[in-house]
Chain A
Amino acid sequence: MREANGVMRKHRWLLVLALLVAALALLAAGCGGDDDEEAEPAATTEEATTEAAEDVTGSIKIAGLWTGGEGDSFKAVLAGFSEKYPDVKVTYQPAGEDLPTILATGVEGGNPPDLASLSSPGVIKSFVDKGALQPIDFAIDALKENYSEGFVNLTTFDGKTYGVVFKGANKSTVWYNTQAFEDAGVEAPTTWDELLEAGDTLKASGVTPYSVGAAEGWTLTDLFENVYLRTAGGEKYDQLAAHEIPWTDPSVKDALTEMAKIFQSDNIAGGTSSALQTDFPTSVTQVFTDPPKAAMVMGGDFVGTFITTETKAKIGEDADVFTFPSINDSPPVVVGAGDSIVMFKDSPAARAMVSYLASPEAAELWAKRGGFSSPNKNLDEAAYPDDITRKLASELAQAETFRFDLSDLQPAVLNDALFAELANFVKNPDDIDGVTGKLEAAAKKAYK
């Protein structure tokens, strides 16, 4: 035994040595790889945009948020590009929720995709700060022509523009079950007081008023943003977004006080604790079952897609939508969001793709397929498949007062805190001071 052990020990040394050599070789290889990636784009820039379509060659990889039906729609848009530029090979990688992870590791490892869609200007900014993104100033004229200033500014940092907002979302909408409204004898409300009154009437009729998918934090931040933009106004909204006023500001508490009027347990389908386990798709479908579990679900235009695909309800007949009501005579405002196309690696093919996606013709390809609101104001509205989509999309593209989803403007750490604290607020709507205090603590850390 002892002898054998001795030999084994020698072996182990050999092993360790071999492993170390392997590790060192890899370290060296890894570092070398980084340098190559950084050197490349500089060589191929400049001459891009003026080239004729058939001259652009190469291959580009796009990583996107859109999967499933949305992924198919985006592929249809890409097919339009391939018709124009047959010599460019385009691969689309539908990454869904994992996209920020894939991009972050891609950048860290020196191998990001050429283009990607990102939903959060906060995330875009963090990539800009790292120096991972290429400005798209070559397309600035097209952007200014096709988009209102608010949308161009969203992706502009230090005077340089880094993204095209390709797909917009109008989040200032509330969807409802028309039969439940009819049974209770209520009309679509236009003011907050009317909404609360309609809620009480619905309750008396035996239907729970609101469905909330609070298992996912963004449903709650969307609601908060809509209320806050209306109670505090656009100026405060911008200040809060930039953390120029603290989260303990009275305006935040006022907004939460209004929200608390909704979050009474008997107002929410299944009660608030059940709402915290309800994911977003369920929060939509349970409004359109028979009998419905709730009468309304507060969610953006994308709720329409879920109604069409996941329920038997027909939009315009069984399901309808109203604009998020005005609070204390607030003027019409839209809270929205947008997925932007950004460029990690500069090349003529990537530039051609960015310019193409900024054009109305690209937007039209998806608009025809539905489930899409384009912020592109030069898109012919006839492209939208139905009246409701058209109305929501035009509210968005033409909006005078448009504010981007506030949580998406925050650093990820604060965004996570917002999700967590608003969930706590749903559980305990009386603890407004506790919620704002914790949010401010998280914001201080994030903005340090």
Chain B
Amino acid sequence: MSSTGSSTVTAAPPVTEVPPPPSSRGKHAISLAFLAPAIFFLGVWVVYPAIRTLIRSFYSDRGGEFVWFENYEALFRDETIQTAIKNNVIWVLVVPAGVTALGLLFAVLTERVPWAPAFKVAVFVPLAVSLFAVGVIWRIMYQQDPDRGAINAGIVAVQGIFTEQGALTTAKPSTDALAGSPEGGLTLEKTVQQGGVALLGLTAIKAGELPAEPEQAVTPEATPDGITGVVWRDFKPGGGTPGEVEQDEVGLGGVTIKLRSAADGKTVDSTTSNADGSFAFEGLEEGDYRVAIGKETFSKPFQGFNWLGDQLITPALLIAFLWVQAGFAMVITAAGLAAIPRDLLEAARTDGGTEWQVFRRITVPQLMPVLIVVLVTQIIGVLKVFDLVVSIVPASRRDSATVIAVEMWERSFSGQNRFGFGAAISTFMFVLFIPFLVLNIRRFKREN
């Protein structure tokens, strides 16, 4: 099981590749010859750049001037870098633990569910997609506008089953005569008596919610024992005069109009407007009334979570990353699981252990070395996370979601050209890696 683990771990020191101990000088030469290409490429692409970066971090941004630790001082004073470090800490706290737990969960599940191979493929496939492409996909899914972002569209669809959307979701009152707000319903400011005519003018109705067969709005005649009125789109090209029913302004049919008693606010009657917008309440007792359009008419569909806003952006990134890495953890853990001696589990069960006890006391401890491999790999992977952040986060919000690797790139390149500062960030990142690298190397040694 450990061989599966260590072979997938990145950045394994070349020491592990050394063949079994040779017995003579000749063999030394041979092994060196075999190692030479690896040493050459490591030197060109790893060791030399690393040394140059370290040296560069002590020089000014333009180069030439030795500035001691100035770049490092600037680094720790920089607000955005502080945000980046804070975000990296969140990443390190959440992702490795989350990935390991998910991997364990999926690995155990795949041993028990039918269709396990299909399930495994579904979890593993994201790992085969380039992280940058993953980022592009999630960025689109995270869009706030439900017409563009799949996640919010899904939430809206589910929510639409339980709540009803109003007929006029964007409408606003055309004059101050209608008080209240679309969210709480609109009420005509003035009280209305028998024989009165109520004019309910609305504007800002979006194209899809206008009547399909528009009819000219008509102000109805007053009736002696009732209240009449019209609800209409108080707008015609150019604007028109607000508050007046004019030629070319259309009636809004099917709107629920409520009549409330002015004294106690109770709803006395309610009716629905005709296609020309007119409505009438008849046979009313004498008294003061208020005419209102209930808030149901205006109830908006859910507007969607602001996934890419300041508050949710880091969680959104973490979800995308977990989605990718869960497959990796599952495969490693499943391999480890398969290597656990069955008789051990059987023995525990015959001794009367419950499933949970077997899992807690046998499976997890047996898997521990594998879980640690996953954990350490993830910590290293998360410390250097870059492409996902760059591809998901809109440039306008980069400062709040940034991580150290992104800052290193931003400062060094992308026009800022602060090479000294960027080199200092790189070196700082490398220092962060050291404990985990040491941990990994020690573990390899133990296993050997």
A residues near B (Cβ < 8 Å) are 3-4, 7-8, 11-12, 14-15, 18-19, 22-23, 26-27, 30, 100-101, 104-105, 108, 120, 123, 126, 129-130, 182-186, 201, 203-207, 214-217, 270-271, 273-274, 276-277, 279, 282, 291, 412-413, 415-416, 419-420, 423, 426
Contacts and interface: CB of A to CB of B under 8 A. Distances in A.
A425 to B, nearest CB: 11
A416 B206 CA distance: 37
Contact of B416 (A8, A271, A413): A413
A423 B416 contact: no
Nearest to B413: A101
A217 B396 contact: yes
Contacts of B410: 416
B395 interface: yes
14 contacts: A11-B15, A22-B40, A27-B52, A100-B414, A104-B417, A126-B417, A203-B204, A205-B237, A215-B396, A271-B303, A277-B397, A279-B394, A412-B415, A420-B398
B51 interface: yes
B91 to A, nearest CB: 22
B206 A206 contact: yes
A205 B40 CA distance: 70
B306 interface: yes
Interface residues of B, number: 58
Contacts of B89: none
Contacts of B31: 11
Contact of B415 (A100, A182, A277, A279): A100
Contacts of A108: 63, 419
Contacts of B15: 8, 11-12, 15
A279 B136 CA distance: 13
A23 B14 CA distance: 16
Interface string B173-208: 010000000000000000000000000000111111
A27 B410 CA distance: 26
Interface in B107-156: 143-145, 148
A291 B308 contact: no
Contacts of B21: 3-4, 7-8
A26 B44 CA distance: 7
A83 to B, nearest CB: 35
B436 interface: no
Contacts of B204: 203-206
A182 B237 CA distance: 7
Interface of B: 14-15, 18, 21-22, 28, 31-32, 35-36, 39-40, 42-44, 47-48, 51-52, 62-63, 143-145, 148, 170, 174, 203-210, 235-239, 303, 306, 308-309, 394-399, 410, 413-419
Contacts of A270: 144-145
Contacts of A277: 143-144, 308-309, 394, 396-397
Contact of A15 (B35, B238, B398): B35
Contacts of B239: 184-185, 201, 204
Contacts, number: 151
Given A214-B396, A271-B303, A277-B143, 15 more contacts: A4-B21, A15-B35, A19-B47, A23-B48, A26-B44, A204-B235, A204-B239, A205-B203, A206-B204, A206-B235, A279-B394, A282-B148, A291-B208, A412-B414, A412-B415
Contacts of A419: 395-396
A206 B238 contact: no
A18 B28 CA distance: 13
B395 A215 contact: yes
A217 B419 CA distance: 23
B32 A185 contact: no
A101 B206 CA distance: 45
Contacts of A273: 144, 306, 309
A216 B398 CA distance: 11
A8 B309 CA distance: 53
A100 B415 CA distance: 5
A274 B148 CA distance: 11
A382 B115 CA distance: 68
A203 to B, nearest CB: 6
Nearest to B307: A277
Nearest to B206: A206
A442 to B, nearest CB: 11
Contacts of B39: 15, 18-19, 22
B237 A184 contact: yes
Nearest to A11: B18
Given A100-B413, A101-B414, A8 B18 contact: yes
A23 B22 CA distance: 27
Nearest to A279: B394
Nearest to B310: A427
Contact of A130 (B28, B51, B62, B396): B62
A7 B28 CA distance: 10
